[in-house]
């Protein structure tokens, strides 16, 4: 594979590559090797102003007049462009994030399907009509919210961008997308591809930059109508505050500490390897990573030992090797943070991993910690390849522990008793519950949080409504004049 990382990645504003006004161009490092990767422009306030102006002009111009059928065609064309450029996108993403290319390929597949799903879902956009009392007729119009600011994190730069872009564009909004400063490359390519397939200038703008400065300026911008944010719960709270003056529509996809409940009656040949996958894929840098494995007590010692064996067998290494199952973490700084959690976990026992490997790459081994639910490592989002294994007594205790955390994004239940699976699904406070399967996100299935994991949903039909206004039109149809004062 050879991808053109020697080019400079500009900002993407108004349908073309743009230089940053303040000349901020940074060298990005490849996390798995510590070597230079590419040079990328970072946006400042002037660039955000230009991007918001371009997005506004698009809504008031050609993009705002583009009918649903044409928007659908464009979304499908963008899906085709991702397919055509998949080798380049996969390599860029794997090298920029350090993530195993086998994972990235699955993410790319979902990115494609997501544009196709929303391309087709445009057909569902429509209002209602209703006669009221014989003399009034009500009908509703669905209109795009306007300019959407979309802020995404570094863990799935391409997939998160597509989760956000597809429903917004389907609804007819224009977008100013801000990727994380560390991982801008595939989002910039997506902006370029959108223009190549025919999206009018300004429909998609991409302005990578630092969160507390460029991101905050974008969120506060009076030209922005809606803010869709994916990131940490702490930053999510700050986004709500920033989006309050002037008031904007806000949706938040935030952190998680998702439970994975294993009952002694489960099919352990699936449950245990799947449990390992559901924390260690993407090196645990997933919002819904099942980082709390809750195990019924008679099975606990066996499950801890098996998880340690499975963790030790995971192929960690070069992200570009198709056999690699886990690449590096996103940066050395993030690795320090992850390792800090493990070092402080003195209440528990580290039964696999937990040691910093030698070498320049930001690698961290799959790590298993036997502990209880009241420890820092069980309660806080580590966001790395670290699973806590926690014992429970019975079904009631399992539900109590599963819910005893501030997050509520995802939960998985492994049991041989189907009725128990449904009972637990109804009682766990999380946006998604998986029963005897570890997968999470599919176009068409709403994904999002309860509690401190945020609000709003992605990937579902519901998401379209979050980018649409409902306008009620009421028409007088009575035979007599309307004269409420009797004048
Ligand atoms: P983060 O909150 O630090 O950053 C996320 C994004 O917000 C980045 O683009 C960053 O530049 C920007 N940002 C930071 N401060 C900002 C501010 N004051 N104003 C505006 N923008 C700001 O999160 P992170 O560490 O990059 O990402 C990991 C987090 O994202 C984890 O908590 C993870 O669970 C969460 N996440 C959630 C989902 C989901 O769908 N629920 C998906 C992926 C990741």
pLDDT in tens, 175-196: 999 999 999 999 999 999 999 9
Name the active-site residue from 192, 253, 288, 458.
253
Helix (H/G/I), strand (E/B), else coil: 198: coil
Is 74 near ligand 1, meaning CB less than 6 Å away? no
- Nearest atom of ligand 1 to the alpha carbon of 409: 41
Is 300 near ligand 1, meaning CB less than 6 Å away? no
Percent of the chain residues past pLDDT 70, beyond the cut: 99
Domains of the chain: 8-254+453-471 (3.40.605.10), 259-435 (3.40.309.10)
Is 91 near ligand 1, meaning CB less than 6 Å away? no
Is 381 near ligand 1, meaning CB less than 6 Å away? yes
> DSSP readout, 340-357?
HHHHH-TTSEEEE--SPP
How far is ligand 1, taken at its centre, from the CA of residue 151, in Å? 8
Residue owning the nearest CA to atom 22 of ligand 1: 211
Is 361 near ligand 1, meaning CB less than 6 Å away? no
Alpha helices in 207-357 (DSSP H): 216-220, 233-242, 268-280, 300-312, 332-344
Query: Per the omega criterion (within 30 degrees of 0), is the bond before 317 cis?
Result: no
Is 140 near ligand 1, meaning CB less than 6 Å away? no
pLDDT of res. 1: 46
Ranges in the chain, pLDDT < 70 = 1-6
- Nearest atom of ligand 1 to the alpha carbon of 449: 41
Residue 253 a catalytic site member? yes
- Nearest atom of ligand 1 to the alpha carbon of 383: 31
Residue 287 a catalytic site member? yes
Closest CA to 312 of 271, 370, 363, 353: 353
* Phi, psi dihedral angles at 276 (to 5 degrees): -65, -45
Residue owning the nearest CA to atom 11 of ligand 1: 211
Q: Which residues of 394-430 are buried (b: 16+ CB within 10 A; e: fewer)?
A: ebeebbebbbebebbbbbbbbbeeeebbeebeebbbb
pLDDT in tens, 40-99: 999 999 999 999 999 999 999 999 999 999 999 999 999 999 999 999 999 999 999 999
pLDDT of res. 3: 62
> DSSP readout, 404-449?
SSSEESEEEEE-S-HHHHHHHHHHS-SSEEEES------TTS-B--
How far is ligand 1, taken at its centre, from the CA of residue 210, in Å? 11
């Amino acid at each position: 594979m050879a991808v053109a990382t020697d080019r400079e990645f500009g900002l993407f504003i108004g349908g073309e590559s743009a230089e940053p006004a303040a000349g901020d161009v940074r060298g990005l490092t490849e996390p798995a090797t510590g070597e230079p990767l590419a040079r990328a422009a970072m946006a400042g306030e002037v660039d955000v102003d230009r991007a918001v102006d371009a997005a506004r002009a698009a809504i008031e111009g050609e993009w705002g007049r583009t009918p649903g059928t044409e928007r659908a065609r464009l979304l499908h064309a963008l899906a085709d462009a991702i397919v055509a450029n998949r080798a380049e996108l996969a390599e860029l993403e794997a090298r920029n994030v350090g993530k195993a290319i086998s994972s990235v390929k699955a993410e790319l597949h979902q990115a494609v399907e997501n544009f196709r799903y929303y391309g087709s879902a445009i057909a569902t956009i429509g209002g209602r009509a209703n006669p009221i009392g014989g003399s009034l007729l009500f009908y509703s119009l669905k209109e795009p919210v306007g300019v959407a600011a979309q802020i995404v994190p570094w863990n799935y730069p391409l997939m998160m961008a597509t989760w956000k872009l597809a429903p917004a564009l389907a609804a007819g909004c224009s977008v100013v997308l801000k990727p994380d400063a560390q991982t801008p490359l595939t989002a910039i390519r997506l902006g370029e591809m959108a223009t190549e397939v025919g999206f009018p200038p300004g429909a998609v703008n991409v302005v990578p930059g630092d969160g507390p400065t460029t991101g905050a300026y974008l969120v506060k911008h009076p030209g922005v109508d809606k803010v869709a944010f994916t990131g940490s719960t702490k930053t999510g709270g700050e986004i709500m505050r920033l989006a309050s003056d002037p008031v904007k529509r806000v949706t938040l996809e935030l952190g998680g500490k998702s439970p994975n409940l294993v009952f002694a009656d489960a099919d352990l040949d699936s449950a245990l390897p799947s449990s390992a996958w559901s924390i260690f894929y993407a090196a645990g840098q997933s919002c819904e990573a099942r980082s709390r494995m809750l195990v019924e007590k008679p099975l606990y010692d066996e499950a801890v030992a098996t998880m340690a064996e499975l963790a030790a067998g995971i192929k960690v290494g070069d992200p570009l090797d198709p056999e690699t199952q886990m690449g590096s973490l996103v940066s050395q700084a993030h690795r320090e943070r992850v390792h800090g959690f493990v070092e402080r976990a003195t209440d528990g026992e580290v039964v696999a991993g937990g040691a910093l490997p030698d070498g320049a790459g930001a690698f961290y081994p799959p790590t298993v910690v036997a502990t209880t639910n009241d420890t820092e490592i069980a309660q806080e989002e580590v966001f790395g390849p670290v699973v806590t294994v926690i014992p429970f007594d019975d079904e009631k205790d399992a539900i109590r522990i599963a819910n005893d955390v501030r997050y509520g994004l995802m939960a998985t239940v492994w049991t041989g008793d189907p009725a128990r699976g449904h009972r637990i699904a109804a009682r766990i406070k999380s946006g998604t519950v998986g029963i005897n399967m570890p997968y999470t996100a599919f176009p068409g299935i709403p994904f999002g949080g309860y509690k401190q994991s945020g609000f709003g949903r992605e990937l579902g039909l519901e998401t379209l409504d979050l980018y649409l206004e409902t306008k009620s039109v009421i028409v007088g149809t009575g035979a007599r004049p309307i004269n409420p004062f009797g004048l």
